[in-house]
Amino acid sequence: MSDKAKEPLFSAKNKKLISDPLNDTNPVTIQVLGICSALAVTVQMKGAFVMSIAVLAVLILGNVIVSLMRNIIPPRIRIIVQLVVVAALVIIVDQVLKAYVYDASKTLSVFVGLIITNCIIMGRLEAFALGNKPWASALDGLGNGLGYGLILVIVSFFKELFGSGSLFGFPVFGDAAAGTGLYSIGYENNGMMLLPPSSLVIVAIIIWVQKARNPKLLEA
Amino acid sequence: MKFLRNIFDNAHAALNKSEKTKKFFPLVDSVDTLVFTPNHTTQKGAHIRDAIDLKRTMMFVILAMIPCLLFGIYNAGHWHYHALGEAGGYMDNFMSKLGIGAWYVIPIIAVSYAVGLGVEFIFAIKNGHAVQEGFLVSGMLIPLIMPVDVPLWMVAVATIFAVVIGKEVFGGTGMNIINVALTARAFLFFAHPTSMTGDNTWVAGIKDMKTDGTLVDGFSGATSLGDLAGAKSKYAEAAVALAKDKGEVVVAGLKAEGDAMATKAVSLMDSFWGFEVGSVGETSAFAALLGGAFLLWVGIASWKVMVSFFLGGLSIAGLLYAMGGNPFYEVDPIQQLMYGGFMFGMVFMITDPVTAAQTGTGKFFYGFIGGALGILIRMANPAYPEGVMLGILIANVCAPTIDHMVIRANVKRRMKRLKTA
């Protein structure tokens, strides 16, 4: 500490920790992690939003806690320690969701508990928090959580818009049952968008667009 | 001819004048090479001269589809009149049936070609290559596997999806791993099931007839497969009722309902000639077989795929026939294969040389898997009467693996021979 000048809180390096996962090293589209939840909880934007916040919270807190303990965790049992930390955090998040947004917690059902198996979280703990200081780890968790949430919100935007004709539950195209708005001229909601596989198609299109626009991502 | 040639030459010259218009070269070039045989020659190296190029191949396939298309147009008109109760004999009102059929079918073809070629042009100009010919066939196949009454905007959306996701992302014509036309159909089947299955889509204008009550009594508008699947569900209900001890009367009543539905399915001869409701071009096994004979004669389709596809379907249909238990399974296996899109799929879909297995032995496995899965999905799961479509798509996905295994087996066999020698 003392032999090095104190690094500013938002140095260029630290800013990159947040900005990289949004594009160049996006956990979902580039590292292809956390796909299961991206398929499962994106039918409604609200669910995707709550899920993103939950994962973001677990990521930041998990990263900070493991980073604080990184020098006292014996390497041979580090996975178990990480699992205990993540499991505890997920239980807390689950209880908070049940207490304050009960409806969303109901629709997310088992997938809140399954945050524990989200590869992004264990991946960041292993790859980053075990070897970095708490503040950098927190930023890394924030960046990856935002990168994950960004993709989830984009996917759920298209799925809810075309699958249910609404955004955050508000009808955009008119009332399907009463046949008003777009529905009066023969438009119908796309039933495929309500099925999990359509998320794969949308994630694939996002990857396509991203790789076409970002020359750094071109494979040799 | 000279006049046409001049038009194209002038167009090429006009485009070449400025850098800005040069990128529209594929547009003119594609029409040019469609009308005239291109005179490009390979610059260096040995090459084989062949009179048939990709565009000519595609035109042959379209020629093979013409019997299906013409019969489909007639059939659409015939069932339109039938639903109104004015059909009479098959040859009565022949011209007006053709007219009504064309009125409904031609717009679907126009939308499919316009949208599909539009997407192809955009990709060709963006990527700077000539427009590839693949869509000539897909653009005709898509209308032939759509219900007559499908809304045109759905055809447009499905075509865009199929060309972009089914083909262009893989690199365009010749690189796709799944059949483009079937991708369009599968997309609509899952996205808008009410417009792709059920009673309200197989007859031109049936929705309007139902609302103004002009529909003739006793005509439901469901396909034979729909009726048979309904009969199967009734038998399943009867089995549940039996298990719950609901009484003999209830069980027998449900079974009688199922039998009544099953009798609505058309006879073997009618389904062979195609006098039944269904997607535009796939009702007539005879028309499909005419096209198939032509494709085999010019050497575009592979007989190995066709034969094994038929045998695959026949074996599963025969197996379930032997099992019996409900009216759907008790349909004669040959008749089962004449229903729905099986024969059409056998001739035009599974044989698509791009998505089929490439090795000779692999073609047998590939066709067999497609046919067997198609009939299995159709008969075992009444929710998917379009089993043939799903069976062929699954076979498409399996084709590279089949090829890989055939090649590995070949290598192994020859290695063994090498060691013993």
pLDDT digits (tens, 9 = 90+) for A45-84: 888 999 999 999 999 999 999 999 999 999 899 999 999 9
Mean pLDDT over all residues of chain B?
Answer: 86
**Beta strand residue intervals within B289-378, DSSP E:** none
Residue B46 counted as domain residue? no
Rg value, chain B, Cα: 24
Q: Say what the pLDDT of residue B105 is.
A: 93
Q: Say what the pLDDT of residue A90 is.
A: 93
Angle between helices B152-161 and B94-127 (to 10 degrees): 30
* Residues B80 and B178 both lie in one domain: yes
Are A186 and B151 in contact (CB < 8 Å)?
A: yes
Residue B237 counted as domain residue? no
Give the Å distances, CA to CA, from B49 to B43, B46, B52, B160.
13, 10, 9, 35
Are B192 and A208 in contact (CB < 8 Å)?
A: no
Instruction: State both tokens at A206.
Output: 């996002």
Average pLDDT over residues A126-150: 91
Q: Amino acid identity, residue B345? A: G
**To the nearest whole angstrom, how far is the Cα of B193 from the nearest Cα of chain A?**
8
Q: How many Cβ atoms are within 10 Å of A127's Cβ, its own excluded? A: 12
Residue that wins the pLDDT comparison between A115 and B91: A115
**To the nearest whole angstrom, how far is the Cα of B165 from the nearest Cα of chain A?**
8
Evaluate whether B262 touches B53 at the Cβ level (below 8 Å). no
Q: Which chain B residue has the Cα nearest residue A186?
A: B151
Most confidently predicted of A78-92, A165-179, B32-46:
A78-92
* Residues B199 and B69 both lie in one domain: yes
**To the nearest whole angstrom, how far is the Cα of B257 from the nearest Cα of chain A?**
31
Rounded to an integer, what distance in angstroms lies between the CA atom of residue B82 and that of residue B71? Answer: 16
Q: Say what the pLDDT of residue B401 is.
A: 94
* Residues B307 and B205 both lie in one domain: no
Residue B60 counted as domain residue? yes
Instruction: State both tokens at B386.
Output: 């379009």
**Which of B160, B192, B195, B197 to mutate to test binding with chain A, by most A CBs within 10 Å of its CB?**
B192
**To the nearest whole angstrom, how far is the Cα of A190 from the nearest Cα of chain B?**
5
CB pairs under 8 A, 24+ apart, for B240-248?
Answer: none
Average pLDDT over residues B2-24: 77
A171-180, B167-176, B408-417: the lowest-pLDDT one: A171-180
Cβ contacts of B190 on chain A, cutoff 8 Å: 191-192, 195
* Residues B125 and B20 both lie in one domain: yes
Nearest to B191 among A192, A205, A208 (CB): A192
DSSP B254-290: HHHHHHHHHTTSPPHHHHHHT-S--STTTS-HHHHHH
Secondary structure of residue A144 in the 3-state scheme: helix
Residue that wins the pLDDT comparison between A87 and B88: A87
B383 touches A: beta carbon within 8 Å: no
Cβ contacts of A190 on chain B, cutoff 8 Å: 191-192
- Given B155, B182, B212, the domain boundary residue is B212
- Given B185, B212, B239, the domain boundary residue is B212
Q: To 10 degrees, the CA torsion angle through B147, B150, B155, B158?
A: -80
Q: How confident is the model at residue B39 (pLDDT cuts 50, 70, 90)?
A: low
Residue B58 counted as domain residue? yes
Residue A100 pLDDT more than 50? yes
Q: How confident is the model at residue B288 (pLDDT cuts 50, 70, 90)?
A: very high
Q: Say what the pLDDT of residue B133 is.
A: 75
Q: Which chain B residue has the Cα nearest residue A191?
A: B191
Q: How confident is the model at residue A3 (pLDDT cuts 50, 70, 90)?
A: very low
**Which of B178, B188, B189, B190 to mutate to test binding with chain A, by most A CBs within 10 Å of its CB?**
B190
CB pairs under 8 A, 24+ apart, for B407-410?
Answer: B407/B359
Instruction: State both tokens at B333.
Output: 């296996």
Task: Identify the domain containing residue B109 by its residue range.
Answer: 2-37+53-212
Are A190 and B192 in contact (CB < 8 Å)?
A: yes
Residue B93 counted as domain residue? yes
Residue that is written with structure tokens 């239980």 in the block: A91
Partner residues linked to A171 by β-bridges: A166
Are A188 and B195 in contact (CB < 8 Å)?
A: yes
Q: Let me know how long chain B is.
A: 421
Q: Say what the pLDDT of residue B115 is.
A: 94
Nearest to A191 among B153, B165, B191 (CB): B191
Nearest to B190 among A186, A192, A205 (CB): A192
Rounded to an integer, what distance in angstroms lies between the CA atom of residue B274 and that of residue B287? Answer: 8
Rounded to an integer, what distance in angstroms lies between the CA atom of residue A16 and that of residue A6? Answer: 18
* Residues B179 and B309 both lie in one domain: no
* Residues B162 and B307 both lie in one domain: no
- pLDDT digits 0-9 by tens, B179-212: 999 999 999 999 988 888 877 888 888 888 888 8
- Given B158, B179, B212, the domain boundary residue is B212
| Domain count of the fold of chain B | 2
Q: Say what the pLDDT of residue B27 is.
A: 72
Q: Say what the pLDDT of residue A108 is.
A: 84
Evaluate whether A52 touches A153 at the Cβ level (below 8 Å). yes
Rounded to an integer, what distance in angstroms lies between the CA atom of residue A155 and that of residue A49? Answer: 11
Q: Say what the pLDDT of residue B263 is.
A: 82
Q: To 10 degrees, the CA torsion angle through B324, B325, B329, B330?
A: 70
Summarize chain A as % helix, strand, coil (round to 5). Answer: 70, 0, 30
Rounded to an integer, what distance in angstroms lies between the CA atom of residue B278 and that of residue B362? Answer: 32
DSSP B387-399: HHHHHHHHHHHHH
Share of chain B above pLDDT 90, in %: 37
Residue A1 pLDDT more than 50? no
Partner residues linked to A138 by β-bridges: none
Rounded to an integer, what distance in angstroms lies between the CA atom of residue A10 and that of residue B199? Answer: 64
**Which of A188, A193, A206, A210 to mutate to test binding with chain B, by most B CBs within 10 Å of its CB?**
A188
Q: How many Cβ atoms are within 10 Å of B89's Cβ, its own excluded? A: 7
Cβ contacts of A192 on chain B, cutoff 8 Å: 187, 190-191
Residue B408 counted as domain residue? yes
Rounded to an integer, what distance in angstroms lies between the CA atom of residue A72 and that of residue A74? Answer: 6
Mean pLDDT over all residues of chain A?
Answer: 86
CB contacts under 8 A, B 92-151 vs A, are 151
Residue B328 counted as domain residue? yes
Q: Which residues contact A40 (CB under 8 A, 6 or more apart)?
A: A111, A196
Are B194 and A195 in contact (CB < 8 Å)?
A: no
Q: Say what the pLDDT of residue B51 is.
A: 67
Residue B29 counted as domain residue? yes
Are A208 and B169 in contact (CB < 8 Å)?
A: yes
Are A188 and B165 in contact (CB < 8 Å)?
A: no
Residue B127 pLDDT more than 90? no
Q: Say what the pLDDT of residue B412 is.
A: 93
- Backbone torsion region of residue B293, taken as left when φ is above 0, otherwise alpha when ψ lies between -120 and 50, otherwise beta: alpha
- pLDDT digits 0-9 by tens, B264-283: 888 888 889 888 888 888 88
